[in-house]
Chains A and B, each alone.
Chain A
Amino acid sequence: GPPPTPLPLSSTSAGCTGTMASSEEDGGGASEPGEEKEATGKRRRLGLLATVWLTFYNIAMTAGWLVLAIAMVRFYMEKGTHKGLYKSIQKTLKFFQTFALLEIVHCLIGIVPTSVIVAGVQVSSRIFMVWLITHSIKPIQNEESVVLFLVAWTVTEITRYSFYTFSLLDHLPYFIKWARYNFFIILYPVGVVGELLTIYAALPYVKKTGMFSIRLPNKYNVSFDYYYFLLITMASYIPLFPQLYFHMLRQRRKVLHGEVIVEKDD
């Protein structure tokens, strides 16, 4: 049958988008020394243009998420509350998170060894949270859970993009590699909790307004209920989260401890 597309699951930790598949599943943009697909340890050959572009891209993304992190810290230091924080950083967040759609293109044209589907799912889940939840459902923007996943995402992305940058420049400090393969252990569950709580908080507003929904009768004979869609999305975290989490743990063991993992299915 058609490949079952998992419902969007935000990648919220250094591990999820990073360790989720070492060099295979990253939509970011780099080959990673020490994590090659082939056992021979051959480094992926990138053209000069691709290398230059990816380096620029990863530096830009690292900078962008750093700016976000600093803006969030400054806001909290100045205002002492998280209320209004989302509003103050939303333009920057939307810009950089949407820009990450390019990572799908990177996979499509092959300059990044990740599968298009995996990158697509990861980026889509972020786009979903940013545009279809926090942007569209204004009453929940001041929820604490929003700050929770924003912090998780920010730390994750700074670690991930700087990891790629240094890898491309061939000077990867061990602590960045360490961060990337350890932070997720905490950040991933934190991010998931933040996302789920946010979607949960949005439910009453979605039900009341009937937003993004189509009712019968209509001339295309279709209906869509955003409220039930969100319920299903939340439910999909249950099978997806453990799978991704344990995959990342396996990747971590492989990369940091050189364990040889025999996969169940070749």
Chain B
Amino acid sequence: MKHYEVEILDAKTREKLCFLDKVEPHATIAEIKNLFTKTHPQWYPARQSLRLDPKGKSLKDEDVLQKLPVGTTATLYFRDLGAQISWVTVFLTEYAGPLFIYLLFYFRVPFIYGHKYDFTSSRHTVVHLACICHSFHYVKRLLETLFVHRFSHGTMPLRNIFKNCTYYWGFAAWMAYYINHPLYTPPTYGAQQVKLALAIFVICQLGNFSIHMALRDLRPAGEWPAPGKGGMVVGRLGKGGSHLPLLSCLPGSKTRKIPYPTKNPFTWLFLLVSCPNYTYEVGSWIGFAIMTQCLPVALFSLVGFTQMTIWAKGKHRSYLKEFRDYPPLRMPIIPFLL
């Protein structure tokens, strides 16, 4: 069998970083990354981007050497993606924060409101209800991260965790401050408004969960590409899954199957929308905003909606590109409109 030689050059300086000889033709990029790590242990596979052209796209871990347009001496260009952190770690951190922070405000921990309010409790029912809803939402997200979602990438750049946590934690604190404030004003239309809002919230939470389960079932747990030494990939997560988590979206997740409605009525939204999980998510927050009648919540919903729309449009576009027979009725996030 003819062996390949692989030389790895720095994409910016063209400096020769590594030379591998006797590489098997059916070796994958993942395996080459592992070999490269041996000579440069500070660059674990998750932070390596290897490409055929210094300015080109990254090669995928599962690409096979002999299937690439290279001669028997392959030249690959390396780019350091920077310190990486696993998606699971990011998710758990960014979701645990709001859960904990909201409770600090709910229990009126000292130094937030005036001292005479320390550890007091609100006399409005809606404030207690809001705490339950908010906490439920983030507990649900944590559990989904651990048990439901299947991530098609293991890691993201480290700086994302700071960006994402600032967003989630910051908004959680801002909302919680007003909802749990001693001078909080309950909704104008009273119990009617709260009941309606709660219904919206619950329906959308169930809907969002149903979609997550449906997306998970689209792709069975496959093999995870072997993590390199020092990689921070969580082995038990299966490959695949088309859920694009809020604020940590990586472009170019490969879609493989068109999602369709199942027996669960909540999934029937797939008839009208490509990303009903986002639709339901926006709906939940709108419900929460109506329930609390709190402007910061409405602003948080708006910002989240903007971001999710961008993601939904991207996802919708990649569906259209990949599938000739994609249902034409579907819109990215809002039925018929957006």
A residues within 8 Å of B by Cβ? 1-2, 4, 216-223, 262, 266
Asked if B183 CB lies within 8 Å of chain A CBs, one says yes
A219–B185 CB distance below 8 A = yes
Q: For chain B, give the interface size range.
A: 20 to 34
Residue numbers in A under 8 Å from B247 (CB-CB): 1-2
B307–A217 CB distance below 8 A = no
Task: State which residues 166-197 of B face A: CB under 8 Å.
Answer: 166-168, 178-179, 181, 183-185, 188
Residue numbers in B under 8 Å from A1 (CB-CB): 160, 163-164, 166-168, 247, 307
Residue numbers in A under 8 Å from B163 (CB-CB): 1, 4
Taking a contact as CB atoms closer than 8 A, the residue among A2, A4, A221 that contacts B178 in the complex is A221
Residue numbers in B under 8 Å from A220 (CB-CB): 293-295
B188–A222 CB distance below 8 A = no
Asked if B12 CB lies within 8 Å of chain A CBs, one says yes
Residue numbers in A under 8 Å from B188 (CB-CB): 219
Asked if B267 CB lies within 8 Å of chain A CBs, one says no
Residue numbers in B under 8 Å from A222 (CB-CB): 178, 294-296
Assembled-state Cα–Cα distance A222/B300 (Å): 13
CB distance from A250 to the nearest CB of B (A): 17
Give the tally of cross-chain contacts (CB within 8 A): 46
Assembled-state Cα–Cα distance A22/B241 (Å): 42
Assembled-state Cα–Cα distance A42/B116 (Å): 69
- Indicate whether A217 sits within 8 Å of B183 (C-beta atoms), given known contacts A2-B306, A222-B178, A223-B178: yes
Asked if B292 CB lies within 8 Å of chain A CBs, one says yes
CB distance from B122 to the nearest CB of A (A): 12
B184–A221 CB distance below 8 A = yes
B292–A221 CB distance below 8 A = yes
- Sample of 16 A–B contacts (CB below 8 Å): A1-B160, A1-B166, A1-B168, A1-B247, A4-B163, A4-B166, A216-B178, A216-B181, A220-B295, A221-B178, A221-B181, A221-B293, A222-B295, A223-B178, A262-B12, A266-B12
- Indicate whether A217 sits within 8 Å of B306 (C-beta atoms), given known contacts A222-B178, A223-B178, A262-B12: no
The 9 tightest CB contacts between A and B, nearest first, are A1-B167, A222-B295, A217-B183, A221-B294, A216-B183, A220-B295, A221-B178, A1-B163, A1-B247
A217–B185 CB distance below 8 A = yes
Assembled-state Cα–Cα distance A84/B35 (Å): 74
Asked if B303 CB lies within 8 Å of chain A CBs, one says yes
CB distance from A38 to the nearest CB of B (A): 13
Residue numbers in B under 8 Å from A2 (CB-CB): 167, 247, 303, 306-307
Assembled-state Cα–Cα distance A266/B294 (Å): 41
Nearest to B187 among chain A residues (CB) is A219
Q: A1-B307, A2-B247, A216-B178 provided; 16 other pairs, C-beta below 8 A?
A: A1-B160, A1-B167, A2-B167, A2-B303, A2-B306, A4-B163, A216-B183, A219-B188, A220-B293, A220-B294, A220-B295, A221-B179, A221-B181, A221-B184, A221-B295, A222-B295
